[in-house]
């Protein structure tokens, strides 16, 4: 307890935990839908696109935030305009488009960093982020953007879930499937842009994918799944920020390793429970309905 | 004809630099392997797998550096092991995209860890190693490593040529191929291992973060331009090598652009041009537009060529 109190006596640690919590909540809720919609590749590309945006903004003497939001929003529109419903053969073509867009975006970012006369520490910061040195103003900005994103997601959650689970039936029932798809990508872009300013372009993806994937292995119920995903993400982020304080290793390494361990455990537990159920079919049948 | 003279003149001046000769030697082998492997990566819809392997390459290279080993040991070891592992875990040699995403998110975290260990230990003497792994350093290759890179590129191409026909069959129709006695699963795993080697190889040229451009863009352009598989493979190889050469020349002429950027930029431009050209070509035969490009068309043209096999 005294060590925790000592930890919290540093303002930078308090801000790291605050920002980490906000980032974890947003990524876990957005990520739950992203994983359900099987858009991990698109999500990864959106998170990388922030890098050239930020590098370009710095080159022009602007705040990196402009670059993050501008590029992530634009990329969300580009990816959203490619129609994934138009048949599986086109989908493969689409994944080639996403891959090319991603490589090109990073190449442009690299060029911008080079033109800025190679501040290599800045480069690592853009890619891998930093949980330390977050100001109070940044925490407030993060909270406002994150709050808006989560509220909007909450407003469209039910139709989005419907459109994700069964797009054809949803379209027949009058749900604007296509608008929802583009809207969700935009929302994801905004969340990623905000998060990337803290975690860096490369590590946003870990919080977007791992806690939601773990939650979806553990439960199929949507509300419970989102809650579980948020709890996992927040827990992992806190543990990682604290662990990084006591060791010389970066926060990102702890976040990814802890969340991957949770994912592997959940998969393992599920595998074992499926095995035991299939070898003892009577026991499964005896469970009252 | 004067423009030809200018190009030949500048080419001879470019090739008079040993570092440019090394870059062209290594780059040609790397690009050829990328083009050929990439054709199947796009055909099989495994671009995301290639994306994941590029991040594994980053982690592998930095792990080797942190442990004080040769960078290439970590590069090739990590990518081939993870590629084969993904093939083994997934059904019929392909992996689920959430599994891929989860594994490579973790890999990325490990990469950050190794980067911090390495930069903390190396006292700044070699602090740019992380950057060159991420973004490549083809102009910094020694003559020896350029020759090795070219040789590995040739070996990957030879391996691909050996498995091209059965792999094409297995990619187009897994069920029929399996029924005809093609070892679909083993081919899938073997192919992923070759993708792993290519990823490690390409990381040295354009870097872990950019190799997807060389893997996906020329291949996707070839898929746009022709539906016939063997012509497509040759075209994909040719376009990748073209992008590499043009990129190297561009970054020589304009020193602000790093070679990794110009290579990926040329590859992307080729893809964009092929996309526009493909649309114009298809516009002439509107009745057949749904089967004249992409994997569905390769399916039609490919089964005809595979028929010779049976």
pLDDT digits (tens, 9 = 90+) for B34-83: 999 999 998 888 888 888 888 888 888 888 888 888 888 888 999 999 88
Q: Report the distance separating Cα A258 and Cα A241, nearest Å.
A: 12
Is B110 within 8 Å of A253 when comparing Cβ atoms?
yes
CB-based contact B84:A216 (threshold 8 Å): no
DSSP output for A215-252? HHHH---HHHHHHHHHHHHHHHHHHHHHHHHHSSS-HH
**Chain B nearest-CA residue for A262:** B102
pLDDT tens readout for residues A2-61 = 677 777 788 888 888 888 899 899 999 999 998 888 888 888 888 888 888 888 888 888
Which DSSP category does B92 fall into?
G
Reported for A130-137, long-range contacts at CB under 8 A and 24+ positions apart, including other chains, are: A130/A198, A130/A200, A131/A16, A131/A19, A131/A20, A131/A198, A131/A199, A131/A241, A131/A244, A131/A251, A132/A12, A132/A16, A133/A12, A134/A12, A134/A15, A134/A16, A134/A18, A134/A19, A134/A198, A135/A15, A136/A15
Mean pLDDT of A174-182: 85
Mean pLDDT of B232-249: 93
Q: Judge whether residue A287 has pLDDT over 80.
A: no
Look at residue A222 in the predicted model and tell me its pLDDT. 87
The shortest CB-CB distance from A256 to any of B106, B257, B267 is to: B106
Look at residue A122 in the predicted model and tell me its pLDDT. 62
Share of chain B above pLDDT 70, in %: 83
Chain A: closest CA distance from residue B1 (Å): 33
Mean pLDDT of B26-35: 92
Which DSSP category does A80 fall into?
H
Mean pLDDT of B256-280: 85
Is A100 within 8 Å of B215 when comparing Cβ atoms?
no
Confidence band (pLDDT; 50, 70, 90) for A92? Answer: low
Share of chain A above pLDDT 90, in %: 16
**Chain A nearest-CA residue for B104:** A206
Look at residue B128 in the predicted model and tell me its pLDDT. 66
Q: Judge whether residue B307 has pLDDT over 60.
A: no
Q: Judge whether residue A289 has pLDDT over 70.
A: no
Confidence band (pLDDT; 50, 70, 90) for A118? Answer: low
The shortest CB-CB distance from A260 to any of B106, B210, B258 is to: B106
The shortest CB-CB distance from A210 to any of B102, B115, B295 is to: B102
CATH number of A2-202: 1.10.3470.10
Q: Judge whether residue A84 has pLDDT over 60.
A: no
Q: Judge whether residue B289 has pLDDT over 50.
A: no
Q: Report the distance separating Cα B25 and Cα B143, nearest Å.
A: 9
Is A103 within 8 Å of B210 when comparing Cβ atoms?
yes
Is A203 within 8 Å of B108 when comparing Cβ atoms?
yes
Look at residue B29 in the predicted model and tell me its pLDDT. 92
Mutate to test the interface with B, among A100, A102, A211, A243 (most CBs of B within 10 A): A100
Q: Report the distance separating Cα B63 and Cα B118, nearest Å.
A: 8
pLDDT tens readout for residues A259-284 = 999 998 998 888 888 888 765 544 44
pLDDT tens readout for residues B117-174 = 877 765 554 556 677 777 777 888 888 888 988 999 999 999 999 999 999 988 888 8
Question: CA B276: distance to chain centroid?
Answer: 23
Is A92 within 8 Å of B294 when comparing Cβ atoms?
yes
Q: Judge whether residue B280 has pLDDT over 80.
A: no
In chain B, what residues touch A35 (CB-CB under 8 Å)? 98, 101
**Chain B nearest-CA residue for A116:** B256
Q: Report the distance separating Cα B133 and Cα B278, nearest Å.
A: 35
Look at residue A153 in the predicted model and tell me its pLDDT. 92
Name the average pLDDT for chain A: 81
Look at residue B153 in the predicted model and tell me its pLDDT. 92
Of A141-150, A199-208, B114-123, which range is least confident?
A: B114-123
Chain A: closest CA distance from residue B258 (Å): 7
Of A74-78, A277-281, B232-236, B277-281, which range is least confident?
A: A277-281
CB-based contact A41:B48 (threshold 8 Å): yes
Nearest CA to B47 out of A109, A27, A45, A164 is that of A45
Fold of B17-307: ABC transporter involved in vitamin B12 uptake, BtuC (1.10.3470)
In chain B, what residues touch A205 (CB-CB under 8 Å)? 101, 105, 108
Is A111 within 8 Å of B258 when comparing Cβ atoms?
yes
In chain B, what residues touch A105 (CB-CB under 8 Å)? none
Look at residue B303 in the predicted model and tell me its pLDDT. 57
Q: Judge whether residue A288 has pLDDT over 60.
A: no
CB-based contact A94:A80 (threshold 8 Å): no
Look at residue B127 in the predicted model and tell me its pLDDT. 57
Q: Judge whether residue A86 has pLDDT over 50.
A: no
Q: Judge whether residue B253 has pLDDT over 60.
A: yes
Confidence band (pLDDT; 50, 70, 90) for B304? Answer: low
Q: Judge whether residue B98 has pLDDT over 50.
A: yes
Look at residue A151 in the predicted model and tell me its pLDDT. 93
The shortest CB-CB distance from B220 to any of A93, A202, A250 is to: A93
Q: Crossing angle, helix B97-121 and helix A40-59, to 10 degrees? A: 40
Q: Judge whether residue B284 has pLDDT over 60.
A: no
Look at residue A282 in the predicted model and tell me its pLDDT. 45
Domain boundary assignment for chain B: 17-307
Q: Judge whether residue A88 has pLDDT over 50.
A: no
């Amino acid at each position: 307890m005294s060590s925790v109190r000592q930890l919290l006596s540093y303002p930078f640690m308090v801000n790291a935990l605050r920002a980490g919590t906000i980032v974890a909540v947003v990524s876990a809720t957005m990520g739950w839908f992203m994983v359900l919609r099987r858009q991990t590749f698109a999500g990864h590309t959106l998170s990388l696109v922030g890098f050239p945006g930020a590098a370009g903004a710095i080159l022009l003497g602007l705040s990196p935030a402009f670059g993050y939001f501008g590029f992530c929003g634009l990329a969300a529109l580009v990816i959203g305009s490619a129609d994934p419903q138009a048949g599986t053969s086109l989908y493969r073509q689409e994944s080639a488009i996403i891959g090319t867009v991603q490589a090109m975006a990073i190449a442009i970012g690299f060029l911008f960093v080079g033109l800025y006369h190679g501040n290599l520490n800045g480069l690592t910061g853009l890619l891998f982020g930093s949980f330390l040195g977050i100001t109070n103003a940044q925490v407030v900005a993060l909270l406002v953007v994150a709050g808006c994103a989560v509220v909007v997601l909450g407003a469209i959650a039910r139709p989005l879930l419907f459109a994700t689970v069964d797009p054809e039936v949803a379209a027949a029932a009058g749900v604007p499937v296509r608008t929802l798809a583009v809207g969700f990508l935009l929302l994801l872009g905004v969340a990623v842009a905000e998060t990337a300013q803290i975690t860096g372009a490369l590590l946003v993806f870990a919080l977007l994918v791992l806690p939601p994937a773990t939650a979806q292995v553990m439960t199929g119920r949507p509300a419970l799944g989102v809650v579980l995903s948020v709890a996992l993400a927040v827990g992992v982020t806190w543990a990682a920020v604290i662990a990084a304080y006591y060791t010389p290793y970066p926060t990102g390494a702890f976040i990814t390793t802890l969340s991957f361990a949770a994912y592997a455990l959940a998969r393992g537990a599920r595998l074992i429970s499926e095995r035991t159920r299939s070898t003892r079919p009577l026991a499964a049948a005896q469970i009252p309905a | 004809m004067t423009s030809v003279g200018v190009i030949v003149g500048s080419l001879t001046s470019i090739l008079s630099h040993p570092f440019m000769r090394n870059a062209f030697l290594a780059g040609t082998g790397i690009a050829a392997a990328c083009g050929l492997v990439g054709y199947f990566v796009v055909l099989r819809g495994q671009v995301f797998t290639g994306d994941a392997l590029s991040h594994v390459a980053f982690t592998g290279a930095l792990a080797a550096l942190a442990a004080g080993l040769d960078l290439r040991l970590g590069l090739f070891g990590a990518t081939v092991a993870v590629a084969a592992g993904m093939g083994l875990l997934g059904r019929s040699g392909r992996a689920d995209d959430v599994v891929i995403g989860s594994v490579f998110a973790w890999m990325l975290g490990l990469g950050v860890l190794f980067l911090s260990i390495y930069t903390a230990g190396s006292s700044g003497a070699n602090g740019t190693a992380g950057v060159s792994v991420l973004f490549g350093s083809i102009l910094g290759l020694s003559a020896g490593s350029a020759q090795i890179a070219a040789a590995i590129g040739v070996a990957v191409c030879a391996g691909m040529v050996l498995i091209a026909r059965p792999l094409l069959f297995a990619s187009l129709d897994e069920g029929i191929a399996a029924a005809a006695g093609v070892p679909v699963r083993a081919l899938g795993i073997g192919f992923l291992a070759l993708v792993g080697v290519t990823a490690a190889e390409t990381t040295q040229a354009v870097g872990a973060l950019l190799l997807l451009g060389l893997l996906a863009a020329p291949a996707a352009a070839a898929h746009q331009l022709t539906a016939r598989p063997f012509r497509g493979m040759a075209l994909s190889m040719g376009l990748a090598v073209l992008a590499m050469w043009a990129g190297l020349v561009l970054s020589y002429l304009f020193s602000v652009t790093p070679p990794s950027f110009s290579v990926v930029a040329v590859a992307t431009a080729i893809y964009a041009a092929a996309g526009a050209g493909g649309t114009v070509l298809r516009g002439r035969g509107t009745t057949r537009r749904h089967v004249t490009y992409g994997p569905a068309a390769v399916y039609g043209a490919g089964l005809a060529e595979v028929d010779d096999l049976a």
